[in-house]
Structure 1
Amino acid sequence: MKYLEEVKNLLTDVLHLGPAGATLTADSPLLGSLPELDSMAVVTLIGALEEQFGIMVDDDDISASTFATLGSLAAFVAARAG
């Protein structure tokens, strides 16, 4: 997946996951599985994604399915950056 590693690195940095971030795969669950990914972290992460990838994320674009797994988040970025 095109943006998987970049999204993983950004997620690791934003959430301060440290070495645990290196273990994330495309199938790793995010929302509800990472205690660090609370509502404020989602807002911070969206801002970081917009800045890093030059995309715009509307409120209507944000859903639990977008943040379900690392792969779904990377696919979302890929679709926006397309």
Structure 2
Amino acid sequence: MTEPAHEASGVDAALRALLADVLGLGEARAAALTEDSGLFGELPEFDSMAVATVLTEMEDRLGIVIDDDEVDGEIFETYGNLLAFSLRKVAD
């Protein structure tokens, strides 16, 4: 099921703000992320310690619950993967 455009853009904006805050990227770097932008292993700020914080902030800011068995490395490969995962969770 496709998300309404306003909901998808809201999740996108919240996710970019979250990454800017948690990783210290700043608004400009977060805004420049594309669907293919690499995250874990590509951004020096996105290390294993940041993963837990990002997941916790996603739950808080997006009002979702993320179970441990839902988390795998693929989610953090690209911004597009993280956004798609976030949109699925918001839709649940």
The equivalences for 1:4-19 within 5 A come to 4-18=12-26, 19=28
Letter matched to residue 25 of structure 1:
T
TM-score between both structures, scaled by the size of structure 1 = 0.90
In structure 2, stretches of 5+ residues that fail to align are none
Which has a greater percent of helix? 2
Structure-2 separation of matches of 1:26 and 1:12:
16
Q: CA deviation at 1:40?
A: 1.1
Percent identity, aligned pairs only, is: 43
**Over aligned residues, Cα RMSD in angstroms?**
1.4
Shift of 1:6: 2.1
| 1:61 is the counterpart of 2:79 | no
Partners in 2 of 1:54 and 1:36 — Cα distance? 24
Aligned length: 82
Tell me the residue number matched to 1:41. 50
